Structure 1
Amino acid sequence: MLNQTASIIYIEESNFFLEVYLDPFNKRIRVDDYRGNTKFVLEKAEELARQHQAEKLIMKARTEDNLQIYERGLQPEAVVDRYFLGSDAHFYSKFYTVERKKNDHWITEDGMIQSIYQLDIASGKPFPPKEYELKKADKTCAEELAGLYRQVFQIYPTPLNEPEYVKKTMEEGTIYYVYFHQGKIVSAASAEVNSFYKNAELTDCATLKEHRKYGLMKIILRELEGELKRLGIYCAYSIARSLSFGMNAVLFQLGYKYRGRLMNNCYIYDKLENMNMWVKNLAAC
């Protein structure tokens, strides 16, 4: 892609509006919002994909536009229930290179989802040893949070290994909860809040390997859910690496429902990965 820095652009013309996330690191473009003439929206989105040499176009679409999007050759990948102020969002994609469309793990990942749905739903709350302390993070935690993400992920789709970026996300409304052990952050996750459409993505889940046996992530995610409910946000979703049994199992056991898979979606951990979509209606809890 031409510009190597991720950015959001807004395009407003006489009969349509587009909000687009340009993501050069992951060689993709994502339409996060739109209104007006859907035909022109789709034409502009594809023009941007070509202009920025994207390998993948992603679109968060409204139900009423499904047929028009099919006609344009986009394929459904996932759904987030109640994303748009109570209406569903359909994630569509279009691939622009043969390599980006290939995948060797799809059947394995299908089997993993089947296995996860055989698990018992978690009842009760894990109780980690008293040396673990749960806190809501603020900007003073940014350096340590960046260090945690550097340790856990060789590659990550956003620059969370940079303290300034972590601070910027906090300023923009992202909520972080962390576990401290002996004064050091050992586990963290965040809620990226969309205050206009009243939804939130639970993301940036990371726990150091030696601290993974105590169920820290389940507690952090429950804490984030409580915070979202206090803010009047009931649509929560999370996108987990399709090859990570542990993270997908955590979401299932917390009551999230599987809603599809985003193929070759982003560079994370050590390669380009498929990502599973999980969704929960917090109002039903």
Structure 2
Amino acid sequence: MNFGYEAKTIKQPEFEAQLFFDYSNERLLVNDFSGNIDDLLRAINKYVEKYSFTKIIIKTRPQHWQELLSKGLELEAIFKSYFNGIDCYAMVFYKETKRRTSHYWVQENDILISILEKDRQSFLTTPPSTYHFRRATKEDVVQLSSLYDHIFKLYPTPMNQPEYIHYQMNSGNIFYLVEHNKQIVSAASADINKTFNHAELTDCATLPEHRKYGLMKKILSFLEADLKQQGITCVFSIARALSYGMNAALYQLGYEYGGRMINNCYIFDKMEDMNVWTKDLPV
């Protein structure tokens, strides 16, 4: 089934790498690697030329990021505790000046600073009793896809397709949702990686008329509790840098800002910068 991306494991005598070909967002991700970095970079460049990727992201452990820096890559974000408690350094390089150029950086900084200057609140607001929270099932995929299609003109993955959400659930990812008058009005998911015991909290969406009740913060809390029971020790989220509400929700839930990824993916209505937020889940 083709969803606009492809994962590949590359094994060569000099190195081994887990690659993610994200054709829809014109980027190549190296999610893990071992071996000779020079040979890895040469192999990556061949794929970049073949598929016309404009952004390359290499996720690396602490011992490698400075070597990659010395070879012309940039440090764009740090994912705390990503590799079973070891920090991940997201090193990037760009093939087009347009992709490297952020047109909203100062505005995004203003949003971020205004959030970081606020005190964190340890309590969650209680929405009206007409809102019901629960874990999603496969019977919800059509309504979920309609929710994402309604909110996002563009999205990095095909969340407007019921079969894609069904595929995500079959892959072990979990969704939580909120119903109001038997309609799904808010949802989010956790993309779980059991190898490294981390999960990405993603696919966060709330209908505009229901955004004043703190629904997303409660959904993320439910996801965290579920993940903790599964032995997940690290969670992270990548939020639109232009979204005050989403970044504020993550900050209030105790997430730590880890950097901004320039023109990282197509979302909402254009290619956008994305803020990285991470949090440890205590055992």
TM category, shorter: over 0.9
- Taking the TM superposition and a 5 Å limit, the aligned residue runs for 1:124-139 are 124-139=123-138
Between the aligned partners of 1:193 and 1:47, the Cα distance in structure 2 is 30
Find the counterpart in structure 2 of residue 233 from structure 1: 232
Find the counterpart in structure 2 of residue 92 from structure 1: 91
Find the counterpart in structure 2 of residue 197 from structure 1: 196
Decide which moves more: 185-194 or 94-103: 94-103
Instruction: Report the secondary structure of 2:119's partner residue.
Output: coil
Aligned-pair identity in percent equals: 42
- Taking the TM superposition and a 5 Å limit, the aligned residue runs for 1:1-80 are 5-80=4-79
Find the counterpart in structure 1 of residue 279 from structure 2: 280
Between the aligned partners of 1:48 and 1:18, the Cα distance in structure 2 is 13
Find the counterpart in structure 1 of residue 178 from structure 2: 179
Find the counterpart in structure 2 of residue 188 from structure 1: 187
Between the aligned partners of 1:42 and 1:85, the Cα distance in structure 2 is 25
Instruction: Report the secondary structure of 2:282's partner residue.
Output: helix
How far did residue 24 of structure 1 move? 1.2
Write the letter of the residue equivalent to 1:213.
Answer: K
Decide which moves more: 4-13 or 240-249: 4-13
The answer on 1:220 being equivalent to 2:219 is: yes
Equivalent pairs, count:
282
How far did residue 72 of structure 1 move? 2.1
How far did residue 120 of structure 1 move? 2.2
Between the aligned partners of 1:123 and 1:65, the Cα distance in structure 2 is 37
The answer as to whether partners of 2:65 and 2:91 remain within 8 angstroms in 1 is: no
Between the aligned partners of 1:8 and 1:201, the Cα distance in structure 2 is 17
How far did residue 175 of structure 1 move? 0.8
How far did residue 71 of structure 1 move? 2.2
Between the aligned partners of 2:124 and 2:20, the Cα distance in structure 1 is 37
How far did residue 81 of structure 1 move? 0.8
Find the counterpart in structure 1 of residue 164 from structure 2: 165
Instruction: Report the secondary structure of 1:170's partner residue.
Output: helix
How far did residue 15 of structure 1 move? 2.5
Q: What's the CA shift string for 1:152-186, capped at 9, x where partnerless?
A: 10100000000000000111111100001111110
Decide which moves more: 45-54 or 158-167: 45-54
- Taking the TM superposition and a 5 Å limit, the aligned residue runs for 1:106-117 are 106-117=105-116
The answer as to whether partners of 1:39 and 1:68 remain within 8 angstroms in 2 is: no
Write the letter of the residue equivalent to 2:169.
Answer: M
Give the structure-1-normalised TM-score.
0.96
Write the letter of the residue equivalent to 1:190.
Answer: S
Q: What's the CA shift string for 1:52-72, capped at 9, x where partnerless?
A: 110100111111011221122
Between the aligned partners of 2:3 and 2:268, the Cα distance in structure 1 is 20
The answer as to whether partners of 2:19 and 2:30 remain within 8 angstroms in 1 is: yes
Give the structure-2-normalised TM-score.
0.97
Write the letter of the residue equivalent to 1:129.
Answer: P
Write the letter of the residue equivalent to 2:38.
Answer: K
How far did residue 130 of structure 1 move? 0.9
Between the aligned partners of 1:118 and 1:42, the Cα distance in structure 2 is 40
Between the aligned partners of 2:171 and 2:71, the Cα distance in structure 1 is 34
Write the letter of the residue equivalent to 2:7.
Answer: I
Instruction: Report the secondary structure of 1:130's partner residue.
Output: coil
RMSD value over aligned CA atoms?
1.3
Find the counterpart in structure 2 of residue 154 from structure 1: 153
Find the counterpart in structure 1 of residue 247 from structure 2: 248
Write the letter of the residue equivalent to 2:65.
Answer: N
How far did residue 4 of structure 1 move? 8.6
How far did residue 98 of structure 1 move? 1.5
Between the aligned partners of 1:112 and 1:124, the Cα distance in structure 2 is 22
How far did residue 97 of structure 1 move? 0.8
Between the aligned partners of 1:155 and 1:87, the Cα distance in structure 2 is 33
The answer as to whether partners of 1:56 and 1:93 remain within 8 angstroms in 2 is: yes
- Taking the TM superposition and a 5 Å limit, the aligned residue runs for 1:260-275 are 260-275=259-274
Between the aligned partners of 2:3 and 2:126, the Cα distance in structure 1 is 44
Instruction: Report the secondary structure of 1:125's partner residue.
Output: coil
Instruction: Report the secondary structure of 2:154's partner residue.
Output: coil
Between the aligned partners of 2:257 and 2:101, the Cα distance in structure 1 is 22
